Structure 1
Amino acid sequence: MCGIVAYNGKSNAQERIIHGLEKLEYRGYDSAGIAVVDNGALKYVKSAGRLQNLKDKLEQNPVDGNCGIGHTRWATHGVPNEINSHPHLNTKEDIALVHNGIIENFSTLKEELIADGYTFKTETDTEVIANLLDKHYDGNLSSTVEKVISLLRGTFALAIISSRDPGTLVAARRENPLILGIAEDGVFAASDVPALLNYTRDVIYIENDEVATIQNDGSYSIRKFGEEVEKEIHHIEWSMESASKDGFDHFMIKEIYEQPKVLKDCLLRKVKNDFVDLGETSFTKEEILGFDKIYMSACGTAFHASEIGKRAIEDAIGKEVTAEIASEFKYNMPFLTENSLLIIVSQSGETLDTLTVLREAKDRGAKVLAITNVVGSSIDRESDKVIYCDAGPEISVASTKAYSTQLLSLYLLALDFGYKLGTYDKEFVTDIVKEFESLPEKVEKMFDSRDSIREIAKTIANKKSMFFLGRGLDYLSAKEGALKLKEISYINAVAMPSGELKHGSIALIEEGVPVVTLLSQMELFEKSISNIKEIKARGAYTIAIASEENSALRSVADEVILIPKTHDMYMPLLAVLPQQILAYETSVILGNDVDKPRNLAKSVTVE
């Protein structure tokens, strides 16, 4: 999530905006910028890279004035560089704005604006809004903003200034967070509370489609659909540290709870009118038919997503797909040729093992499609096609929301391939997309199980080892659950197919050994029940994760965690969440550094 800080009042805007942006650096960003109305003129300074780069520029050329906007950007459209950084301006450069979110219909709006004579300097969707404001300007910045946001499809938090209306700051939102901070010397607009705490603890939460107008005398008003809205002022008691985590104890649990939102965001750019639409980020039917073989490669959590994505793509194209761990695949790629497609998955886009595979594939003439969360990363720049996860920055080392969006992106890619090849008809794809659109609500529902999962965590926290079992896709989900527990609790968690346990490893089952078994695949349900009985007879402490239609499991397993039902192929999107929470709660009980586990780094850039 990008950072927005805006201010209008009696004090120096640059000072307050830069200080606020510093408090939002934890969110992750790739560029920064500021714009201020100074003596009736609009001035702006932007810089790629860290906020310090912007501060260095401002030391040489400060921007004075009391009304301004600032931004730290996490790229979603266009590579991370100074040109694409915010604020963005209209062609005449007398309107400036900062924007968090994604404008779905920006391409259509941009074509219309170009036809009207407007020019564009950047690759972003945000610049479209600046020129729309110019096109529809009616002499009043606030009413113009109200008019323009009605034309936008997608999500946004906006802060806007203009030399045409120099004493006014306007802010608006839809789905992306935005608050006002009421201070003695003026009013702030920001994307998050930490930006304001040095100046005020009195905040107003802006709701969807509300437009806030802030004047330089400290007065403000809020309207929705043309009607003025009365808003309550809330007093914040949070500490700086808890504020940056939205009141959560750790970034990991915050990011677990963000999954309903990021699943929605992941769909925003990839679905139109309840149908998958990957546009230029995918391949044509002819190109897909031309690939002699499809390979997938990744590391760690991204590899677990790839293994599940492999099953979905195989179902879509009716051919075998090979998934290989990147650190091994780079030494054994004899069959990958110029006629092959390589699909790589990387949260950071900088994973060196995966990059090595990508580069070898490119040297051989193969096509590469990447699924990554970081625009402008090495993998993004070097791939032929890129599908972005749209998970926003992930601070905790242990990946949670990025994994879920990797899975969803791969499922959408499979649907795209299947429809183009005729495996799936339009009705099937539409039904599945609608099911995906229901997933955020189902994920939200699972948070109700957190207390019961915490009780299970108390039991397993003093164990030295445990097993995660599953059959079919459940085994692949179990691998991710075991990895999460290992990463942050340091318990030796072993994942294996349920049916393989009896071929040697069952010798390790003794009284009290915890065993998590996933049972989301209905075709394999009865066999998995037999496995639970088999290990329970040997004294194991059994934990079952199953769809809510299987509540009878309570008579078989010691503990049962029920999850909502969806199509078996897509159950991994739901099955992972209780495993993430179990790992988190166990780590907390053990007193570990949840967000920064020992020996691990967020981006693995060494071999």
Structure 2
Amino acid sequence: MFHLTEKELKDGYGGHTAKEIYQQPKVWLDAFTTFEKNRTQYQNFIQSILKKHTQVRVLLAGAGTSAFAGDVLASVLQRQYQGTVSFEGAATTDIVSNPDNFLFKEAPTILVSFARSGNSPESVAAVELGEQIVDDFYQVVITCNKDGELAKRIENDANSLSVLTPNEAHDQGFAMTSSYTSMMLLCYELFSLQPTSKDSFELLAKCAGNILDTVTPTVEEILEIPMERIVYLGSGLLQHVAHEASLKMLELTGGEVAAVYESSLGFRHGPKSILNDQSVAVVFLSEEPYTRKYDLDIVKELAAEESELKLIVIGERYDKTIEELADWSLFVNDTESSIQNDFYNSLLYIVFPQILALKKSIQLGITPDNPSPSGSVNRVVQGVTIYDYVNEEDK
């Protein structure tokens, strides 16, 4: 698997992380099968809320990777509903520190909590604040852990819904990989006005499996060059995928590789200053024809740089122009069927950054399953103090 040695594949070294990246196609199909069995029940719950109120806010919330999942989904769902329902990505870390900016007493709200463990202090605190502040407050907990605190606390709550991923998605490695993609898929199915067909899920799984089985030689070529800094770029929801990609590198290398993200257009406005001769830039190409023009512009600009910068471009279908411009190009769909959807493609695009970060971590002599043995950062965050919140009306 990924050309890793027996030692590197041991659980506790890199085995958990490697297996959790590799298992994603199977986990997606298992998640879809389980969701289909409960689809009517789940969607009846959502529809009952939407019919009850003239306007509903849906806060898609989590911390770290889980927050980025919410950002991605807010983009695609907001577009589908055209403002009839408000979808907002909101980090629980922001909700807890600034509840008055996110939770409004008279605004009916569904708080969707993305939770690998369901035990993060900010996740629990965000729910408690919602219950305290919002008159018409509902919860959806999308979690990988049926025994986590978030799942347990809503077991008998008629205003709440729990949606579980397959058990395998409860990643034991430090970094979220299969938990991230499987929770996003389930949330998309729950709210989307364009539910995914079984054929489409199978296409995604097939494409992901092909990437997982064939991309390692390319990754190893890339790792032969100096990589002091890496920048991930994308437009629209792919900017949020770039955020997650950069975090994977930062987490798994213990911060030894500086990793940042930006939008394709925003990169010129200052952030481009990070580039040096030991930098790698990765561009996620949108399949939206209009948006893609801006992605292609930054690809051409970076390709023309008179430096040792290396350029990687990831898109859906083979494109000769991209292949000629980039130092490395990866096209995620070589089937006769078309995906042509940035959300679905994002699930395939993230596989490469996951593998690159895993292999770079091992190259640096770091243990990917636990890249911070000092305990300065942890799989479930520690050291957070939650303070009592007092409503202005209660003062």
**What TM-score, normalized to structure 1?**
0.54
State which drifts further: 540-549 or 577-586.
540-549
**Partner of 1:9 in structure 2?**
none
Change (3 A) 1:580 1:436: same
Among candidates 545, 548, 562, match of residue 317 of structure 2: 548
Deviation string 1:191-227 (CA, Å, 9 cap, x unpaired) is: xxxxxxxxxxxxxxxxxxxxxxxxxxxxxxxxxxxxx
**Partner of 2:50 in structure 1?**
288
1:376 correspondence with 2:147: yes
Q: Tell me how large the CA RMSD over aligned residues is.
A: 2.4
**Partner of 2:174 in structure 1?**
397
**Partner of 1:450 in structure 2?**
216
| Number of equivalenced pairs | 351
Structure in which a larger fraction of residues adopt strand: 1
Contact 1:361 1:368 in 2 (8 A): no
Deviation string 1:487-536 (CA, Å, 9 cap, x unpaired) is: 01121101011111111122333334211111143322222111022223
**Partner of 1:534 in structure 2?**
301
Structure in which a larger fraction of residues adopt helix: 2
Deviation of the 1:369 alpha carbon: 0.9
Deviation of the 1:302 alpha carbon: 0.7
Three-state SS of the structure 2 residue aligned to 1:271 is helix
| Distance in 1 between residues matched to 2:14 and 2:122, nearest whole Å | 33
Deviation of the 1:327 alpha carbon: 1.0
| Distance in 2 between residues matched to 1:591 and 1:265, nearest whole Å | 34
Deviation string 1:385-432 (CA, Å, 9 cap, x unpaired) is: 1111225232210111111101111111122xx3xxxxx5xxxx3x64
- Larger-gyration structure (1/2): 1
| Distance in 2 between residues matched to 1:281 and 1:605, nearest whole Å | 35
| Distance in 2 between residues matched to 1:336 and 1:254, nearest whole Å | 42
Contact 2:57 2:87 in 1 (8 A): yes
| Distance in 2 between residues matched to 1:281 and 1:374, nearest whole Å | 21
Contact 1:348 1:377 in 2 (8 A): yes
Identity %: 20
Code of the residue aligned with 1:376 in structure 2: it is: D
1:414 correspondence with 2:176: no
Deviation of the 1:359 alpha carbon: 0.9
Deviation string 1:46-101 (CA, Å, 9 cap, x unpaired) is: xxxxxxxxxxxxxxxxxxxxxxxxxxxxxxxxxxxxxxxxxxxxxxxxxxxxxxxx
**Partner of 1:340 in structure 2?**
109
Change (3 A) 1:266 1:509: same
Deviation of the 1:605 alpha carbon: 4.2
| Distance in 2 between residues matched to 1:547 and 1:292, nearest whole Å | 34
Q: Which has the higher contact order (CA 8 A, sep 6+)?
A: 2
Three-state SS of the structure 2 residue aligned to 1:600 is coil
State which drifts further: 478-487 or 324-333.
324-333
Contact 2:39 2:190 in 1 (8 A): no
| Distance in 2 between residues matched to 1:586 and 1:470, nearest whole Å | 22
Three-state SS of the structure 2 residue aligned to 1:549 is coil
| Distance in 2 between residues matched to 1:438 and 1:337, nearest whole Å | 43
| Distance in 1 between residues matched to 2:272 and 2:229, nearest whole Å | 13
**Partner of 1:187 in structure 2?**
none
State which drifts further: 316-325 or 495-504.
316-325
Contact 1:454 1:586 in 2 (8 A): no
**Partner of 2:41 in structure 1?**
279
Moved over 3 A (4+): 241-245
**Partner of 1:486 in structure 2?**
250
| Distance in 2 between residues matched to 1:438 and 1:516, nearest whole Å | 24
Among candidates 161, 176, 192, match of residue 385 of structure 1: 161
Change (3 A) 1:570 1:270: same
Contact 2:42 2:190 in 1 (8 A): no
Contact 1:520 1:575 in 2 (8 A): no
Among candidates 592, 596, 599, match of residue 366 of structure 2: 592
Deviation string 1:111-137 (CA, Å, 9 cap, x unpaired) is: xxxxxxxxxxxxxxxxxxxxxxxxxxx
Code of the residue aligned with 2:175 in structure 1: it is: A
**Partner of 2:277 in structure 1?**
511
Three-state SS of the structure 2 residue aligned to 1:592 is coil
Deviation string 1:343-367 (CA, Å, 9 cap, x unpaired) is: 1111110111111111111223411
- 5+ residue gaps, structure 1, are 1-237, 419-423
Deviation of the 1:292 alpha carbon: 2.9
**What TM-score, normalized to structure 2?**
0.82
| Distance in 1 between residues matched to 2:353 and 2:330, nearest whole Å | 10
| Distance in 1 between residues matched to 2:90 and 2:9, nearest whole Å | 41
Deviation of the 1:551 alpha carbon: 4.2
Three-state SS of the structure 1 residue aligned to 2:265 is helix
